[in-house]
């Protein structure tokens, strides 16, 4: 059961500028660094656009020196961001910083975030540098970054395992060189709230010039303390929190944006701060990031988990019916979660469909609208109830595959207890049809083998995932497939009421993305002769 009562009135503090917590989102940089979470350029743009709209102050769009793809993503996001500052990450060297500066050129407002390790273990084994040389690099890197932009952030990587006196000297050097934001990363998720609070307090008290800069938190979740540590940092005077949607990021992830914001918003009586986030975007942002990375959101995840607002037990349901505040500390509406709405049926017209898309936040051109409307009609023929989630899955699928050069035309699968399972597939490749038949260990394997017979490749398939878009046996299946080739990873998605068709679409969508990654190779070269 999901409640649908209006938002509660919280005791909100007056919004003083001094209490404003800047939200620095690193979904597209630290988040994308999680193994397997790579996104395409258009997916990154889609996420960036939403972050910009939802009120994120700074979007860390990537690490421009890391690859041409990262450079391009930062560069394109710099062109489209209208509210947020766009940030690029750079190590302490000139090549990194200049590459970040170049990528950020089109931005209305840009920031370079430069970092170097300061802990004994990182300096000795990773950098193989003496502390004195690290200190000198702090100054030179910040000075160089300032040649590109006035907005420079500096981070001592592994700050929470750094000798406090050396940390103070490095922070002082960064401030003197012109950094306006000092980020204190708990790179390995090692600290605990009271320790992190003490560290930020100590830096703010001891370091000359600390009162002129903004301190920032960057906490990893290895001990499940990333959000608690971030809030402890804010209580100690940090006024920027680095976080990601759904908490994705290296290893156990980063502090989750939605948790940081909702904790501040819901417990404003004891956390008297504010952010510029419009919480109504949280559900959509969570869904998009989960879809493009194929990282499912854990059912009991705070704020955005499927069960976060579900009340199953009889006692809880009874309480909720009497008064929603019995078991609900925030409303589903406040994070943009709506009751699953029965939308339309097969008699709904194009106008109603366009209005529904608008309500769900989509604006399609005439051709894309026509294609999506046709797919909606087909779906309404097969499925009794078409919900908002069905429309979202269908349109996301349509948008993701609109420019694909390889398309699924037809699929027939023979499955069941008496094998071998067999699939016959027809693919359109640059307007030419190709048909192949294959067997396999099960219908999915047979389908993928048939596709591979038309498009031979050596890519590995480390992930195949199915989830039902809505409830019921006629629900659409949404399939995610990850393919890896030469260290590059792509995610394909497909939706259909037939799980095999959705699987074929997802596999073909991943192949299309591999083609884009290969850039120069034409699809014909992938085809079997
Ligand atoms: O976790 C970390 O230390 C980082 C830095 C690059 C800020 O991500
Ligand atoms: Zn990090």
Residue 220, token pair as written in the block: 């990893």
Of the candidates 284, 279, 507, 301, the one whose C-alpha atom is nearest the C-alpha of residue 396 is 284
Report the predicted TM-score, pTM, of the whole model to 2 decimal places: 0.85
Q: What is the DSSP letter of 20?
A: B
Ligand (nearest to CA of 185): 1
Residue 45, token pair as written in the block: 């743009």
In Å, how far are 249, 250, 263, 288 from 256, measured between CA atoms?
10, 13, 11, 15
pLDDT recorded at residue 519: 60
Q: Are 71 and 78 in contact (CB under 8 A)?
A: no
**How is domain 19-293 classified at the architecture level of CATH?**
Alpha-Beta Barrel (3.20)
* Contact 157 CB / ligand 1 (< 6 Å): yes
Atom 1 (ligand 1) nearest CA: 187
Distance 401 CA to ligand 1 centre (A): 34
Query: Computed from CA positions of residues 399, 405, 409, 413, in that sequence, does the dihedral angle turn out positive or negative?
Result: negative
User: Which of 26, 58, 122, 185 has most ligand 1 atoms within 8 Å of CB, for mutation?
Assistant: 185
Q: Where are the domains of the chain?
A: 19-293, 350-400, 403-521
Best CATH choice for the domain 403-521 from the list 1.10.287.3510, 3.40.50.720, 3.30.160.270, 3.20.20.140: 3.30.160.270
Atom 2 (ligand 1) nearest CA: 187
pLDDT recorded at residue 521: 46
* Contact 331 CB / ligand 1 (< 6 Å): no
* Contact 242 CB / ligand 1 (< 6 Å): no
Distance 506 CA to ligand 1 centre (A): 33
Q: Tell me which residue has tokens 């294959």.
A: 438
pLDDT recorded at residue 433: 96
Distance 416 CA to ligand 1 centre (A): 50
- As a whole number of angstroms, the distance between CA 46 and CA 29 comes to 15
| pLDDT averaged per 10 residues in sequence order, the chain, 529 residues | 38 81 98 86 94 98 95 98 98 98 98 98 97 98 98 98 98 98 98 98 98 98 98 98 97 97 97 97 94 90 91 67 79 85 72 83 83 88 81 81 88 91 95 95 96 94 89 85 87 91 95 78 50
Atom of ligand 1 nearest to the CA of 242: 7
The H or E element spanning position 165 is helix 164-177
pLDDT recorded at residue 316: 67
**Distance between first and last Cα of the chain:** 55
- As a whole number of angstroms, the distance between CA 408 and CA 410 comes to 6
Atom 5 (ligand 1) nearest CA: 157
């Amino acid at each position: 059961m999901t409640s649908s009562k209006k938002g509660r009135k919280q005791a909100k503090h007056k919004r003083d500028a001094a209490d404003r917590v800047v939200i620095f989102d690193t979904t597209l940089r630290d988040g994308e660094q999680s193994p397997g979470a790579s996104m395409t350029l258009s997916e990154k743009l889609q996420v960036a656009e939403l972050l910009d709209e939802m009120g994120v102050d700074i979007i860390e769009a990537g690490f421009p020196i890391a690859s041409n793809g990262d450079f391009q993503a930062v560069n394109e996001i710099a062109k489209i961001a209208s509210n947020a500052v766009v940030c690029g990450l750079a190590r302490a060297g000139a090549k990194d910083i200049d590459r970040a500066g170049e990528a950020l050129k089109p931005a209305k407002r840009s920031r370079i975030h430069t970092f170097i390790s300061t802990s004994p273990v990182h300096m000795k084994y990773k950098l193989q540098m003496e502390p004195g040389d690290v200190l000198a690099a702090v100054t030179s890197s910040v000075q160089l970054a300032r040649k590109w932009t006035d907005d420079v952030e500096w981070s001592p990587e592994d700050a929470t395992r750094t000798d406090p006196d050396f940390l103070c000297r490095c922070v002082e050097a960064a401030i003197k060189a012109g950094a306006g934001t000092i980020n204190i990363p708990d790179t390995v998720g090692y600290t605990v709230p009271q320790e992190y609070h003490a560290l930020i307090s100590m830096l703010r008290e001891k370091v000359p010039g600390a009162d002129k800069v903004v301190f920032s938190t960057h906490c990893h979740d290895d001990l499940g303390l990333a959000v608690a540590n971030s809030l402890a940092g804010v209580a100690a005077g940090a006024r920027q929190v680095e976080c990601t949607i759904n908490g994705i990021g290296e290893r156990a992830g980063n502090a989750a944006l939605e948790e940081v914001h909702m904790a501040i918003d819901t417990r404003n009586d004891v956390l008297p701060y504010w952010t510029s986030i419009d919480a109504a975007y949280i559900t959509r942002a969570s869904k998009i990031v989960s879809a493009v990375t194929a990282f499912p959101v854990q059912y009991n995840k705070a704020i955005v988990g499927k069960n976060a607002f579900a009340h199953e037990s009889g006692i809880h349901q009874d309480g909720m019916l009497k008064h929603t505040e019995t078991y609900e500390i925030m409303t589903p509406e406040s994070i943009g979660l709506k009751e699953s709405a029965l939308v339309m049926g097969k008699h709904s017209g194009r106008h109603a469909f366009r209005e529904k898309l608008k309500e769900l936040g989509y604006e399609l051109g005439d051709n894309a609208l026509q294609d999506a409307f046709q797919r909606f009609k087909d779906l309404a023929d097969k499925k009794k109830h078409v919900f908002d989630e069905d429309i979202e899955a269908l349109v996301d699928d349509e948008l993701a595959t609109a420019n694909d050069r390889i398309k699924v035309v037809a699929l027939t699968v023979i499955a069941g207890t008496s094998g071998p399972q067999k699939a016959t597939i027809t693919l359109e490749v640059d307007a030419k049809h190709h048909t192949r038949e294959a067997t396999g260990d099960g219908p999915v394997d047979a389908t993928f083998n048939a596709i591979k017979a038309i498009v031979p490749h050596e890519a590995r398939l480390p992930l195949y995932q199915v989830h039902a878009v809505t409830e019921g046996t006629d629900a659409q299946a949404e399939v995610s497939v990850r393919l890896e080739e030469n260290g590059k990873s792509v995610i394909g998605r497909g939706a259909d009421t037939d799980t095999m068709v959705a699987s074929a679409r997802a596999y073909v969508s991943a192949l299309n993305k591999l083609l884009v990654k290969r850039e120069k190779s034409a699809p014909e070269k992938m085809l079997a002769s």
